[in-house]
Amino acid sequence: ARLFHEPGSNVYIVSMMGCKTKLKPDVIKESLVNSILRHPRFSSLQVTDKDTGVIRWVPTKVNIDNHIIMPKLDPNIEFPDKFVADYMSNLSRTPIENTKPLWDLHLLDIKTSNAEGTGVFRFHHSLGDGMSLMTLVLACTRKTSDLNAIPTLAVSKDSGYIKVTSFWSILEVFWNSLVAVMMFVFTVL
């Protein structure tokens, strides 16, 4: 975790979630207060102990309005999909203030090719890995038609092509991870 807090190190997980309906900021805020904020890391600051230099989590009062960003956007943006991609890219290069818990949600109220509105989540990597954070976000969402039901995700049919592709993808991830670790080790030495 210490490496994630070095000056100039912005290690964030940036992901987006599209909605079939228009965004409702008040509903989203209420949902976050009743779900994600119950997890200690989402309502804590990371503070370095002055004596030992150890980073620890310190609970704090969270003002949800400091974490929800809703920029004023022109609804007639010429290329909304490109805008969202560029917006996400810019988020990965700007830091989150360390005076608040290390996450935010940007609500982009523009229609794209796949959604009526888009939520862009940015989490500092010290909160967790991408898979666990997205699983948490999905677990906190609900269908608009049935507020007790979690959303359904599209599932593709299993085929031989997918199995072969999955095998090579796993092998590629393993290889790239090995190379990245080796490069890190050689850089440190």
Provide mean pLDDT across the span 129-148.
Answer: 78
What is the model's pTM? 0.73
pLDDT in tens, 23-49: 999 988 988 898 888 899 999 998 888
- Read off the pLDDT band of 166 (50, 70, 90): confident
Amino acid occupying residue 95: P
Domain ranges of the chain: 3-153, 156-189
| Residues labelled as active-site residues | 125
Signed CA dihedral, 114, 140, 12, 170: sign only: negative
CATH of range 3-153; options 3.30.559.10, 3.40.50.12780, 3.40.50.300, 2.30.29.30:
3.30.559.10
On the question of pLDDT at 163 being above 80, the answer is no
